[in-house]
Amino acid sequence: MKTKRYALYLALLTVTMGAHAAGHGASAPLDLIPMPAKVAPAQGNFTVDAHTPVIAAKADAGAKHAADYLVAQLAQAHGPKLAVRDDAPADASIVFVHDEKAVVDHPEGYVLDVAAHGVRVSARTDAGLFYGAVTLWQLLTAKPGATTVSLAAVHIEDQPRFTWRGFMLDSVRHFQSTGEVRTIIDQMALHKLNVLHWHLTDDQGWRIEIKRYPELTRIGAWRTPPGAGEHGEPKQYGGFYTQDDIRQMVAYAAERHITIVPELDLPGHAQAAVASYPELGVTGKRPAVSVDWGVNPYLFNTDEHTLHVLEGVLDEIMALFPSQYIHVGGDEAIKDQWQASPAVQAQMKSLGIKNEDAMQSWMIEHFGKYLAAHGRRLIGWDEILEGGVPPSATVMSWRGTKGAVAAARQGHDVVLSPAPDLYFDSVQSKRDDEYSGRLPAMDLAHIYAYEAIPKELDAAQARHVLGLQANLWTEHLPTIKHVQHAIFPRLDAIAETAWSPKAARNWNSFLMRLPAQFERYRGAGVEVADSAFAPSFEVDRQAALTSGKAVISLDNQAHSGVIRYTLDGSVPGATSAVYTKPLTVGLPTTVRAATFAADGIVLAAPRMHVFDRYTLASRDSGELTNCPGSDFTLRLQPTADAISVEPTYNVNVFDACRMYRGAHLDGVQSISVDVARLPRNYALAHDAKLVKSHPGTTPHGELVVRQDRCDGTVLATLPLPAPEGSLNFNLKGAMKAANGNHDLCLVFTSPIDGPLYAIGQASLRHERAP
C-alpha cells in the first residue's frame, strides 16, 4: 500500500498543475496560500526581472503603498529587485490601480492579471490592492532567491470568505518584544489575516502602560518565578509595552491592513491588577502577581470606585487602539470572592440581581454601554452569555461551538475560536521531540478541516458568523522560538480556511503548496514546525525482541512527501534511498530518515532511531499514557520560564501516574527511570478536588511500579530523593520476576502540595540494578 502511495505522490507532484489550483483547472502550478477564490489560466508568460517597472500613480496613495510593499517584500525575500515609478502604465510593467468598476465588488477583493505584456493588479479599495500585492509576491517567490521569474499568464478574481480572519497572541504569560510581535504581524499580512487580538492583561502580568495608574506596570508587570534564581530561572520575570510602543505597533499593523483588538480581562483574571491596586479587588488584600497557570480566584470589585478606574483604563486603551472592537474577556471568572463578600451581595440585592452570573452580566453590560457611548463595540469570550448578554455585544466562542450557536440565534455576531480545535498552544503532534504545550495534539490536517459555520445555524443565523480566529496562549511557550513553532505552518491552514471558498479547499492541493511556503519561512528566518512531515518509526517490539530482527515502517503525520533513509549512520539527503516498503534489519541498527518534496525541498529534518534491545524495552515520556481516570495532559519544560526547547515531559497535573503499555517482562530483572522534578504552579480553582493523592511510605515518596493495573501487584518500589538539588535524576531498582506481556502502572506517591514528578524515559533491564 505504501509503495502505491508514494508512486502516486511523485506522479502528482510532477504534473504541471493538478491540485495546485484547488480544482480550478489552471495549467501551471500556483504556490499560493490561501488559494484565491477564482483562478483561470491564460496564454503566454511574463518575465519579471530588475528591469521590470512597478507603476502606481503619484496621486493614488493606496496603489503606491501596495506597490512599495511588494517591492520591499521581494527585497527581503531576495527576489527580483524592483523599483516603483509613477509614470503612465506601459508594456512589460507591473501596474497597481484603483478601479471603481473592478469586477470584484468586495472591500478586500482584487483582480490580478498576468499576461504576456505585463501584470495588472486592480481593486476598488486600498485593502484589495494590498492583498493583490501579497498574491503577486507569492507568485514571484515560489522559487526562493530567484531574481528573474517567469510567470504563467493567469486571471485571478479574489475575495475573502470571512471578514474576521484572526490570530490571538497572549503576551501576558510570556512576553514578546516589539520586534517579535512585528514579525508575527508581518506573517499575518502575508497570509491575508486581518485581526490581531492582543491579550495584554491577566493574573500573571499587566503588559500595557496606563499613565493614570502607573502601579499597573510598576508592580503588575513583574512576577517572581517559582524557584527564582535557580536552575536557570530569572529572579524576576516580566515586561510591558509603553504607550509609544503601542502606537507604533498599531500603525505598523494598520499599514498591513491588520486591526489590533486589545483585551482587558474582566471581571476575572484580575490578580496582577489587584496586586497593583488592592482596592480594586474584593478582599482589599494585596496578592502577589500570580506565577500559577490556570484559573486564579481574584476578581475585580463591583463598586463605583473600581468601575471608575476601569473606565479610566478603557479611556487610555481606546486612545491607543482605534479598533471598532474592544475585548473585555469575561472568561473563567469563578465567583467565590463575590459570593463571600457582604458588600457585593448587598449591591446585588439593591440591584435586584439574583446570582453572581447575572452580576457579571451587569458588569459586562456596564462596560458595553460605556464603550458604545464612545463609538466602540464590546466583544468577549462566550461566558458573557451567562446571566444574559448585553444587546450590542459580539461573542467569541471558545468552549466549543455552543456559545456561537446560542449567540447567533439571539442575533449577536460571533467569532469562532473553539478549544482545542483552534488553540495553537496545543502541540502539533504526539512526537517525543515536540516542543512544550497542551495535549491532545491539534495537527495540521485537523486545523485545515475546521469549518467555522456551525451546522446548527440556518442561513440567516449564519450571517452572524464574522469569521474565525486561532488562539495562542503562552503559559508553556516562553520564547519566540516556541511561539513560532506553535504558529507555523498551522497559520497557513487557518489562512486558507478563513479566506478561501469552502468548495475550493483541498487538502492534497494544500500539501503540495506547502513546500514553497516552507522555503519562504526559511528565507525569513521563521521557526516552522515540521511535525506534519517528520518521519515516524513503527516496529513490533515484542517480535523484534524475540527474533533479534526489527521490521520497521516509516510514515509521517500527513502521509505525504518522499521519505528517504539511511542505515549506515549517514544523514539522509536528496539522493538517499526512497522508502517504499517496511525495512527488515538486524539488531542493533540505527535508522535515519528525512522527508523531501519531489523537487528536493526539505519538508522535515532528519530523525534518528536506534533499534536495539535497550530502546525496544524503553518508553519515552510521550510514549507513556495517562492512567485511567483522567485524559488531561500537558507537555512541560523543567522550569516555568525556561528558554530552552528541550527536554520536555508529558505530565498529568491531576494524577502523577503513567502507563507503560505492552511491557515484555520475560527475563526482566530491573528498571531504570529518568525523572524530572517540576514546579507545581497550577491554579485549579474548583477542579483542585480532582487532584488524586497517592500517599507514600518513605520520607519523600516513591515511584511504585505495578503490574497490569494501578492497584495490581507491586513489581518495584523506588524511593524518591529529597526535593532539593538537581531537577533531573535517575531511579534504579530490582523488578519482581514476571513473565509475558503486561501493562505497567508507574505512580509517584509524593505529596500533592509538593513538586510534580515527570518521567523522561522508563527502561526495563535484563541485568540486575547496581
- For 156, the grid coordinates are 485571478
**What span, in angstroms and rounded, lies between the C-alpha atoms of 404 and 326?**
18
Residue of 332, 336, 687, 743 marked catalytic: 332
- Quote the DSSP letter at residue 752: T
Residue of 126, 157, 202, 233 marked catalytic: 202
- Angle (CA) 338-343-347 rounded to 5° is 90
Closest CA to 691 of 765, 630, 646: 630
Phi then psi dihedrals of residue 2, to 5 deg:
-65, -35
Specify whether the CB–CB gap between 141 and 79 falls below 8 A: yes
What radius of gyration do the chain's Cα atoms show?
28
Q: CB neighbours (10 Å) of residue 163? A: 16
Specify whether the CB–CB gap between 468 and 417 falls below 8 A: yes
Task: Identify residue 56 by its one-letter amino acid code.
Answer: A
Q: Is 314 helix (H, G, I), strand (E, B) or coil?
A: helix
- For 645, the grid coordinates are 526547547
**What span, in angstroms and rounded, lies between the C-alpha atoms of 252 and 635?**
34
Q: Where do runs of H (alpha helix) occur along 477-618? A: 480-487, 490-499, 507-524, 541-547, 613-616
Residues in the chain: 770
The yes-or-no answer on residue 332 being catalytic is yes
Phi then psi dihedrals of residue 241, to 5 deg:
-100, 125
Specify whether the CB–CB gap between 718 and 664 falls below 8 A: no
- Angle (CA) 586-587-592 rounded to 5° is 85
Give burial (CB, 10 Å; 0-12/13-18/19+) of 57: middle
Specify whether the CB–CB gap between 762 and 701 falls below 8 A: no
CA dihedral 300, 306, 312, 316 (to 10 degrees): -10
Q: Is 387 helix (H, G, I), strand (E, B) or coil?
A: coil
Closest CA to 485 of 646, 291, 626, 278: 646
Residue of 24, 191, 269, 412 marked catalytic: 269
Closest CA to 307 of 279, 272, 349, 341: 279
The yes-or-no answer on residue 269 being catalytic is yes
Specify whether the CB–CB gap between 20 and 573 falls below 8 A: no
Q: Is 490 helix (H, G, I), strand (E, B) or coil?
A: helix
- Quote the DSSP letter at residue 383: G
The yes-or-no answer on residue 87 being catalytic is no
Q: Is 570 helix (H, G, I), strand (E, B) or coil?
A: coil
Closest CA to 686 of 381, 338, 295: 295
**CA 656 from centroid of its chain's CA atoms:** 26
- Quote the DSSP letter at residue 562: E
Q: Please write down the HEC assignment for all residues of 509-530.
A: HHHHHHHHHHHHHHHHCCCCCC
What single string gives the DSSP state of each residue in 660-700? EEEEE-TT--EEEEEEEEE---EE-GGGGGGPPP---SSTT
Catalytic residues, by residue number, are 202, 269, 332
